[in-house]
Amino acid sequence: MNARITRIRIWDRPVRLFHWTLILLVGLSYASGKTGAWGLHYIAGYAILTLVLFRILWGVWGSENARFAHFLKSPLAALRQLAGFAKRDRDTETSHNPAGGWMVLILLSLLLAQGLTGLFANHDPGFSYSQHGPLALKVGEATQESLSAWHLAAQRYLVFAIALHVLAIMLYKLFKGHELVMPMLTGEKLLPEGTRPPRLAPGRLALGFLVIAGAAVFLFIRFF
């Protein structure tokens, strides 16, 4: 006899807005960098840095299932979970699964690295100021070149990680029947009856963290 299922709210609005806004900003950053629209590229970069800092704060003090301490398991747990990938089973997760938790950490780390190195990048040495990161002229040429190389490397790794993330979502749907996209849109997920809903933090706390993150990015750029 199949267990009964019920609809449970697992993702708060701040996490969902962060997720989808970040996707748009990363796409904008990539496109503007490829077309040389540097003003737009820098604005997207500042916004991405702000969102990443916000997510770090939310991952420490935010909703229960958004906290790193809640969803980051040992690498061995992630490997065990991946080893059972081919087994079709019921989805009982109220947060990221062990492998997904590590992917979140990797993506946030790459975004932070790319955003910070981009502040010092020199996209076209010897040409207009608009092609320099806002802090590029505050460091030596060798540092500019090194951080520019790291910026481009982080971009390649990020594109690969995003592609892997999207592929994993598709495979989970295809092989295991786990729906991971709709819960991030609606906040709700169909789970076995009796599953305890995660404790969600208030939206005003998220707004406060967003203001703090934005102020930190502004002050860093302004006073570095």
Encode pLDDT of 121-139 as tens digits. Answer: 986 654 444 578 899 989 9
* Cα gap 96→31, rounded to integer Å: 29
The Cβ of residue 198 has, within 10 Å, a number of other Cβ atoms equal to 19
Per this entry, what is the length of the chain?
A: 224
**Per-residue pLDDT reduced to its tens digit, 91-102:** 899 999 999 999
The confidence band for 118, taking pLDDT boundaries of 50, 70 and 90, is very high
Percent of the chain with pLDDT over 90: 82
Q: Does the pLDDT at position 16 exceed 80?
A: yes
* Cα gap 109→124, rounded to integer Å: 26
Identify the pLDDT of residue 128: 45
**Per-residue pLDDT reduced to its tens digit, 44-92:** 999 999 999 999 999 999 999 999 999 999 999 999 988 888 788 888 9
H-state helical runs in the chain: 13-35, 38-61, 68-71, 75-83, 98-119, 141-171, 181-186, 203-223
Which pTM was predicted?
0.93
Question: What is the total count of domains within the chain?
Answer: 1
Q: Does the pLDDT at position 1 exceed 60?
A: no
Q: Which residues of 151-164 are buried (b: 16+ CB within 10 A; e: fewer)?
A: bbebbebbeebbee
* Cα gap 44→115, rounded to integer Å: 9
Percent of the chain with pLDDT over 70: 95
Mean pLDDT of 171-187: 94
Identify the pLDDT of residue 83: 87
Identify the pLDDT of residue 122: 85
Identify the pLDDT of residue 126: 45
* Cα gap 25→5, rounded to integer Å: 36
* Cα gap 54→214, rounded to integer Å: 8
Identify the pLDDT of residue 88: 83
Assign residue 44 the CATH number of its domain: 1.20.950.20
Identify the pLDDT of residue 123: 65
Identify the pLDDT of residue 130: 57
Mean pLDDT of 100-116: 97
Q: Note down the domain range covering 101.
A: 5-223
Q: Does the pLDDT at position 110 exceed 60?
A: yes
